[in-house]
């Protein structure tokens, strides 16, 4: 199981209201007890934090708010001593506007080679006042920002598929390629067992930067999933494989077509990629069944394990999402004020935890999901930091609500996140203490206890360690599958109880099981 740490919000050792690497190190026993095999850290590099660290100013330095390079090395080593590997986040599509390359490019004249590492273009229109293309940023708004000279005279435009503080790199430039290979080695040499590759299908661009058409043949879209991008990962795979203990490449590949997605998982490319098809699926029996089936079929042709993901630092927390009428996830559909039944969402999120933990492949858990944290929807406007919110003109709530600092203690200053009276970088809701680790760990009915027990069984049950999987017949609204010789997972998506199949014992249930009936919105693992 790979556990995703958002360092800014995990634990704050120096008491300044921002999480840090020493905070993570101090909580390694918690992570070991949960049964973590590896930690994936969202970017911890020096960054102005215009996009939560995905705007990197120096790939070889830790952001001072999080600690030092020595702290990172100590954390990697201490985790390794507990059998926990480290995965770092590599952000190759763009850098921070404060990265020395971009600072140099901005200071240079149009046509200067320093600008070639990015996508600088003259504007259209009589005085260059129109952006070179009408593309839309993943964070809404235009993908181009116009530069201005020291005296304010408007100049060229530069491309950014995300926020304007994140200029896109030109991957046709040999230095861009060489620099990232060096960065990869830098972290592998420091003991990182793997890298998570941010926005992995967006690096390659059509150098002509054409306008978007109605339809693009696969591999020829101007800035998404272009065929050339695979050359990058073939080179990276060679680097990963050059270590005595091979290192891993994990892709953030958001593509609707499975055939295009699995191309990233060919033998000489990445080792695995996040299963966003599953993550965004609604909590509905047939939709989940079909996503699982598609996942298996897609991975059959490649030597990469399927992955199971319920959320991450970009996604509405499952407890909240599953408590809504529309339980699917879509960035474009996010709005304020969606009616939510958190009790229902929590039942479903617990069932989803058992479902995912029973599937063969690699399980990812985002920090706080094991506590059943809901999305924090009522952050004060002034506290919101996410460019997705601000660039939408305030209609998109953004992603801050799933990034609120974790509660460790029931009471006390910021629920043990800092242990000092420092204001956390995002405010915690008044009832945060009821979700705290301290409040849940002694309670066998808590979500934390459910996760711990499920993860323990996942390690100890031979049936779950293998890859054997088969659907079992079940009534409508119920999913059932067999793992190995003697384990069955049953998920009831309906609200009424259903009969459990014949079994020798119930290993674990997401809700209390009375007799041979599985309650509505619940899951169980059975010894059969």
Which structure tokens are listed for 228? 């050339």
Rounded least distance, CB 52 to ligand GLC, Å? 6
Rounded least distance, CB 337 to ligand GLC, Å? 24
Contact 242, 188 (CB under 8 A): no
In the complex with ligand GLC, the residue whose CB is nearer, 18 or 47, is 47
DSSP E strand stretches across 67-125: 85-90, 120-121
Residue ranges in contact with ligand GLC by CB under 6 A: 51-52, 54, 91, 162, 198-199, 252, 313-314
Rounded least distance, CB 248 to ligand GLC, Å? 18
Rounded least distance, CB 4 to ligand GLC, Å? 10
DSSP E strand stretches across 287-352: 307-309
Q: How far is CA 143 from CA 45, 137, 167, 168, in A?
A: 24, 5, 9, 10
In the complex with ligand GLC, the residue whose CB is nearer, 89 or 521, is 89
Nearest residue to ligand GLC, using CB?
54
Q: How far apart are CA 419 and CA 17, in angstroms?
A: 9
In the complex with ligand GLC, the residue whose CB is nearer, 90 or 344, is 90
Which structure tokens are listed for 502? 């014949």
Of the CA atoms within 13 Å of residue 165, those in its CB half-sphere come to: 17
Burial of 421 (0-12, 13-18, 19+ CB in 10 A): exposed
Rounded least distance, CB 314 to ligand GLC, Å? 5
Rounded least distance, CB 66 to ligand GLC, Å? 16
In the complex with ligand GLC, the residue whose CB is nearer, 96 or 492, is 96
DSSP 466-500: S--EEE----TTEEEEEETTTEEEEEE-SSS-EEP
Rounded least distance, CB 313 to ligand GLC, Å? 6
DSSP 8-state code for residue 333: G
Rounded least distance, CB 315 to ligand GLC, Å? 9
Rounded least distance, CB 506 to ligand GLC, Å? 37
Matching residue, tokens 């390694």: 28
In the complex with ligand GLC, the residue whose CB is nearer, 254 or 322, is 254
In the complex with ligand GLC, the residue whose CB is nearer, 3 or 162, is 162
Q: How far apart are CA 205 and CA 92, in angstroms?
A: 13
Positive or negative, the Cα torsion across 384, 416, 15, 403? negative
Q: Given its phi and psi angles, is residue 317 left (phi above 0), alpha (psi -120 to 50 degrees) or beta?
A: beta
| Angle between helix 447-460 and helix 342-357 axes, rounded to 10 deg | 10
In the complex with ligand GLC, the residue whose CB is nearer, 199 or 488, is 199
In the complex with ligand GLC, the residue whose CB is nearer, 205 or 347, is 205
Q: How far apart are CA 447 and CA 371, in angstroms?
A: 6
In the complex with ligand GLC, the residue whose CB is nearer, 253 or 491, is 253
Rounded least distance, CB 328 to ligand GLC, Å? 18
Matching residue, tokens 């009428």: 325
Contact 200, 91 (CB under 8 A): no
Matching residue, tokens 């770092």: 88
CA 136, 140, 143: angle at the middle one, nearest 5? 45
In the complex with ligand GLC, the residue whose CB is nearer, 20 or 252, is 252
H/E run at residue 70:
helix 69-81
């Amino acid at each position: 199981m790979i556990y995703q740490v958002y360092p800014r919000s995990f634990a704050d050792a120096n008491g300044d209201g921002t999480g840090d690497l020493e905070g993570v190190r101090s909580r390694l026993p918690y992570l070991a007890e949960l049964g973590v095999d590896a930690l994936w850290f969202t970017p911890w590099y020096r960054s102005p934090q215009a996009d939560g660290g995905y705007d990197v100013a120096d790939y070889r330095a830790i952001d001072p708010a999080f600690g030092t390079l020595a702290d990172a090395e100590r954390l990697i080593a201490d985790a390794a001593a507990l059998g926990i590997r480290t995965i770092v986040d590599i952000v190759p599509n763009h850098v921070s506007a404060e990265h020395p390359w971009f600072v140099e490019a901005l200071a240079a004249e149009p046509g200067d080679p320093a600008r070639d590492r990015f996508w600088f273009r003259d504007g259209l229109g009589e005085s260059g006042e129109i952006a070179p293309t009408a593309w839309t940023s993943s964070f809404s708004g235009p993908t181009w920002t116009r530069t201005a000279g020291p005296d304010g005279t408007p100049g060229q435009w530069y491309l950014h598929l995300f926020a304007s503080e994140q200029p896109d790199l030109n991957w046709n430039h040999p230095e861009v390629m060489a620099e990232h290979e060096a960065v990869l080695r830098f972290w592998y040499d420091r003991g990182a067992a793997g890298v998570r590759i941010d926005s992995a299908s967006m690096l390659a661009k059509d150098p002509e930067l054409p306008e978007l058409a109605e339809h693009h043949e696969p591999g020829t879209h101007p800035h998404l999933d272009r065929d050339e991008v695979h050359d990058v990962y073939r080179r990276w795979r060679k680097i990963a494989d050059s270590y005595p203990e091979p290192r891993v490449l994990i892709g953030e590949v958001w593509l609707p077509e499975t055939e295009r997605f699995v191309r990233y998982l060919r033998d000489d490319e990445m080792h695995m990629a996040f299963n966003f098809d599953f993550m965004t699926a609604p909590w509905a029996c047939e939709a989940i069944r079909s996503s699982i089936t598609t996942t298996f079929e897609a991975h059959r042709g490649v030597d990469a394990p399927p992955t199971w993901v319920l959320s991450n630092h970009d996604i509405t927390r499952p407890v909240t999402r599953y408590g809504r009428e529309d339980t699917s996830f879509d960035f474009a559909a996010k709005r304020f004020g969606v009616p939510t039944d958190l009790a229902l969402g929590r039942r479903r999120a617990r069932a989803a935890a058992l479902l995912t933990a029973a599937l063969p492949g690699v399980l990812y858990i985002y920090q706080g999901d094991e506590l059943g944290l809901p999305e924090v929807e009522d952050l004060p406007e002034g506290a919101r930091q996410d460019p997705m919110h601000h660039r939408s003109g305030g209609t998109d709530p953004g992603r801050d609500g799933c990034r609120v600092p974790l509660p460790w203690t029931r009471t006390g200053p910021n629920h043990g996140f800092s242990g000092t009276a420092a204001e956390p970088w995002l405010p915690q809701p008044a009832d945060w203490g009821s979700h705290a680790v301290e409040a849940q760990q002694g309670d066998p009915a808590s979500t934390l206890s459910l996760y711990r027990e499920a993860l323990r069984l996942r390690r100890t049950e031979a049936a779950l360690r293998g890859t054997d999987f088969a659907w079992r017949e079940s009534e409508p609204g119920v999913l059932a599958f067999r793992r190995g010789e003697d384990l069955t997972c049953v998920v009831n998506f309906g609200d009424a109880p259903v009969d459990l199949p014949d079994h020798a014992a119930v290993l674990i249930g997401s809700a209390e099981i009375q007799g041979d009936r599985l309650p509505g919105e619940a899951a169980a693992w059975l010894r059969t």
